[in-house]
Amino acid sequence: MIVLGISGAISHDPSAALFIDGKLVAAAEEERFIRDKHAKGRFPYEAARFCLEFAGIRPEAVDVVAFPHAEIPLGSLARWHYAARHWYAPDRALTALFNGNRRHHRNMVQLNKLISDLNIGGGKVRVEAVEHHLAHASSAYHLSGFREKTAILGIDGKGEYATTFFGYGENGRIHKIKEFYDPDSLGGLYGAMTEYLGFEMLDGEFKVMGMAPYGDPKRFDLSRLITFDERGFKVNTELVNVIGLRRYKDSNGKGYYFSPKLIEWLGPKREGDAIDDPYIDYAASIQHILEEVSLGLIDHYLGDILKDSGKICFAGGVALNVKLNQRIISRPDVKELFVQPAASDAGTAIGAASYVANELGDDIEPMAHAYLGPSYTTEQCIEACQQHAEKPSWERIDQVPQRAAQLLADGNPVAWFQGRMEFGPRALGNRSILGAPNTEGIADRINEQIKYRERWRPFCPSMLDRVAPQMLKTDHPAPYMTFTFDVAEGWKERVPEVVHEDGTARAQVVTRETNPRYYELIEALEGYTGSGVILNTSLNRRGEPMVCSPADALNMFFGSDLEYLIMEDLLVSK
């Protein structure tokens, strides 16, 4: 069975994923190909083309197209809840009751156009719509490899109407326990505060998370934003998650998902890059609220399942909140947490396709790694150098990991481009900027002179699998940078450039099996530093998608103060 997943239902992060007989063979985000971060309002034409071409599949051979957005019937509680909670905006409320989700029909038009334009299925392809949160759930559960009864958690801004999902998986089937509906959205609340704190919703939430450790969550009481107990929650739509005339608008007429009443209460919206008072405390407080509400709901709806098996899967944009994930892992009833590395809406292409493939009888193989995008040969890298306007100076080198390690040990940041591009927002050693984590000031240099982003932003350590239990004091799997861990005493001084303000690190544990060249590089650097750890951040500049092709890497290289770029077997230098 050949199933092509297509995402982009909520007007951002379109992607494509291809399953053949239950195996995920390719997945990619549209933004990487068209160089437009989050590719808002687009459908994944280039990503779908890549997946099919990589697998050697003719478009006509696709059996099913799976799409992570379904029509919600009038009898569903979701539509009535939405209408009642949005009655202050009667146009939206009445649309929900009489026409359903306003995106659904537009989505179907765009999806059918993509199918026709790419000749997918030869004009006869079967199209299966999957509820958005079921797609998130499947992307985590079916790809986790867990066989026992497994708790499933999904938290994001919203899908059709649902915002939060509690369920379980057993024998390959997903069962709903409880859903919450828009505007009662933890992801929406966090996103609205992300806008208030000066960042872009759907992009800056991880910046709020990174800012939070600098603040005091107890200094300001933000409990007016949400009422909650162990059974549920209700967002205060007088302040946040607002639509229509309730929105605050700036002098340019741009509307935000918070109201003028929030400004009256907390003060002006934050501007600029400084993490100044009182905004760091607001960030700490909203992070604390997210954690406390989420953990309380997990207790109530998933506690019994966790007592039985200890296994839990998590997807949705909030699943990328690594601080929340650390709290989940630390629960005594949790043995293992699997977070879909493409937890945001990009991952719903995987989720919709895996859900449909499972329903049609395929046995879904566990996700072995996230290296699911395009790769390029050394010859293609040479060709890109020859065609580039800057006429880069390059040489073909032997012992590539060893040469890279020497450059790093000398205190240089190195752009590292190799193998298949990662799927999801994290650079996992194939499209990365690297540094030696014991080189004083390397993190500030990369932030200020290469990525041109806020200087307080933290960096992640990639580490050898044999080092992780020593540095992180745990053997919990961590292949995707989806968790933070407390760094062991003694290690904070050894690798200070990858330890955050609160003494944690968002770690990637690297194995030789999944990425042998990157593993060899970290081993070679270990010979210089003695740590078996490397500083790793994505190969892109602020506001840009991660690089995809050699040409993208060269453009990034010449648009920053990077001095060394290694592309496959080439060393490019200034």
Q: If you write DSSP's letter for every residue of 32-68 in order, what string do you get?
A: HHHT-GGGTT---HHHHHHHHHHHT--GGG--EEEES
Does 199 lie in the same domain as 75?
no
Give the residue numbers annotated as catalytic, written as ranges. Answer: 12
pLDDT of residue 274: 84
**Are 35 and 552 a contacting pair, CB within 8 Å?**
yes
Task: Please indicate, yes or no, whether residues 130 and 7 belong to a single structural domain of this protein.
Answer: yes
Tell whether 269 and 355 lie within a shared domain: no
Which residue in 106, 127, 124, 88 sits closest to 6, CA to CA?
Answer: 127
**178 burial level (CB within 10 Å; 0-12, 13-18, 19+):** middle
Structural domain of 53? 2-145+345-359
- Please identify, among 300, 327, 359, the residue that sits at the C-terminal boundary of a domain: 359
CA distances from 154 to 92, 315, 348, 370 (A): 25, 5, 12, 20
Provide the number of structural domains found in the chain: 3
In this predicted structure, what is the pLDDT of residue 128?
A: 98
Helix (H) or strand (E) holding 235: strand 233-235
On whether residue 173 sits in a domain, the answer given is no
Angstrom distance (rounded) from CA 150 to CA 139: 13
Question: Is the residue at 497 inside a domain?
Answer: yes
pTM of the predicted protein model: 0.97
Q: Is the peptide bond before 183 cis (omega within 30 degrees of 0)?
A: yes
Contact 177, 312 (CB under 8 A): no
510 and 395 belong to one structural domain: yes
**165 belongs to a structural domain:** no
Residue 232 burial class via C-beta count within 10 angstroms: exposed 0-12, middle 13-18, buried 19 and up: middle
Residue 172 lies in a domain: no
DSSP class of 371: B
- 470's enclosing H/E stretch is helix 468-472
Pair (87, 109) in one structural domain: yes
CATH code (residue 122): 3.30.420.40
Whether residue 319 is contained in a domain is answered as yes
Answer yes or no: do 238 and 193 share one domain: yes
Same-domain pairing of 397 and 303 = no
Looking at the structure, tell me whether residues 306 and 353 fall in a common domain: no
Question: Does residue 294 sit in the same domain as residue 426?
Answer: no
Look at residues 508, 371, 463 and name the one whose alpha carbon lies nearest to residue 27.
Answer: 371
Task: List the CATH number of the domain containing 410.
Answer: 3.90.870.20
Residues found in the chain: 574
Residues 355 and 395 in one domain: no
- 538 forms beta bridges with 432
What pLDDT score does 102 carry?
74
393 & 531 share domain: yes
In a domain, 525, yes or no: yes
Per-residue pLDDT of the chain (574 residues; tens, 9 = 90+): 999 999 999 999 999 999 999 999 999 999 999 999 999 999 999 999 999 999 999 999 999 999 999 999 999 999 999 999 999 999 999 999 998 887 888 999 999 999 999 999 998 999 999 999 999 999 999 999 999 999 999 999 999 999 999 999 999 999 999 999 999 999 999 999 999 999 999 999 999 999 999 999 999 999 999 999 989 999 999 999 999 999 999 999 999 999 999 999 999 999 988 889 999 999 999 999 999 999 999 999 999 999 999 999 999 999 999 999 999 999 999 999 999 999 999 999 999 999 999 999 999 999 999 999 999 999 999 999 999 999 999 999 999 999 999 999 999 999 999 999 999 999 999 999 999 999 999 999 999 989 988 877 889 999 999 999 999 999 999 999 999 999 999 999 999 999 999 999 999 999 999 999 999 999 999 999 999 999 999 999 999 999 999 999 999 999 999 999 999 999 999 9
Evaluate whether residue 71 is within a structural domain.
yes
pLDDT on residue 455: 76
Kindly state whether residues 427 and 291 are assigned to the same domain: no
Q: What angle do CA 572, 573, 574 make, to 5 degrees?
A: 140
170 occurs within a structural domain: no
Task: Say whether 450 sits in a helix, a strand or coil.
Answer: helix
